[in-house]
Amino acid sequence: MSLPPRLIEGYEAFRSGRLPAEQDRYRDLAERGQSPEIMVIGCCDSRVSPEVIFDARPGELFVVRNVANLVPPYAPDGAYHGVSAALEFAVGALRVKHIVVLGHAQCGGVRAFAEGSAPLSPGDFIGKWMSLITPAVERLGERGNSPDYLTRLEQASIVSALDNLMTFPRLRKLIERGHVKLHGAYFGVATGELSVFDPQSGRFVPVGNGAVRT
C-alpha cells in the first residue's frame, strides 16, 4: 500500500529542499524535545494552514485543528475530548505563553450550521460538534438580510471560543496571572489578510497595513 503520489512528490521536495536546511534544527528538537511558546487552535480547512500563514519553522507552533476551530467548554465528564487534551498538554506540560484561536472566511462548518445545509443532520458527529457555535449565533441575534452575517458569525465564534478557554480552571489562573495570553485571529482566504480581535473595541483589526498587496 502506497501513499498518494502527491504526498510522495511532496515528501521528495521536502527531503531535498527544506529538510537539509532544517536538519540541525530537527536534530536539536529531537534531542531536547519541543518547546513551542504558541498554541494555535485552527480549522481543518485545507486553505488555512497555521504553519503556512505564520511562516512557522518546525517546533514553533503547537497546533490543534478541528472543524470550525471550536473550543468546547471545560467538561471533565469522562468523554473523549481531543481539544481539551491538547490544551491540557500545551498549558500543563509545554507551558505555552500564547493561545491563538484562528478562524477564517468561507468556513464550511460555520456556513453549514447557519444555513442548516448538508452534511449536517442531528445524527452526524459534525452536527453535535457544530452546536458549540450556538452561543455565537445567539449573541448575533436575527440573521435578517445582513450580507456579512457569515463573516460576523465566524468572528463571533472565535470570541465564543476565547470565552470557553476561560472555563478551564488551570488556564484561567495562568491567564489572570499574566503567564498566558489569549488571542483571536481571522484569516481572509481570498485576500490573505489577517485580522486580530481587539477586546477593547470588540472588533477584528487588520494586522500590519491592512490590505494585502497582490
Residues of the shown chain interacting with Zn ion in the complex, contacts defined by CB under 5 A: 43, 45, 68, 107
Shortest distance in whole angstroms from residue 118 CB to Zn ion:
16
The verdict on whether omega for the bond into residue 119 sits within 30 degrees of 0, i.e. cis, is: yes
Q: How many CA atoms lie within 13 A of 115 on its CB side?
A: 12
Shortest distance in whole angstroms from residue 109 CB to Zn ion:
5
Angle between helices 5-16 and 18-32 (to 10 degrees): 80
As given in the structure block, the three cell numbers for residue 92 are: 500543563
* Nearest to Zn ion of 130, 171 (CB atom): 130
Shortest distance in whole angstroms from residue 48 CB to Zn ion:
7
Shortest distance in whole angstroms from residue 168 CB to Zn ion:
22
* Nearest to Zn ion of 120, 171 (CB atom): 120
* Nearest to Zn ion of 107, 153 (CB atom): 107
* Nearest to Zn ion of 161, 180 (CB atom): 161
Shortest distance in whole angstroms from residue 52 CB to Zn ion:
15
* Nearest to Zn ion of 91, 101 (CB atom): 101
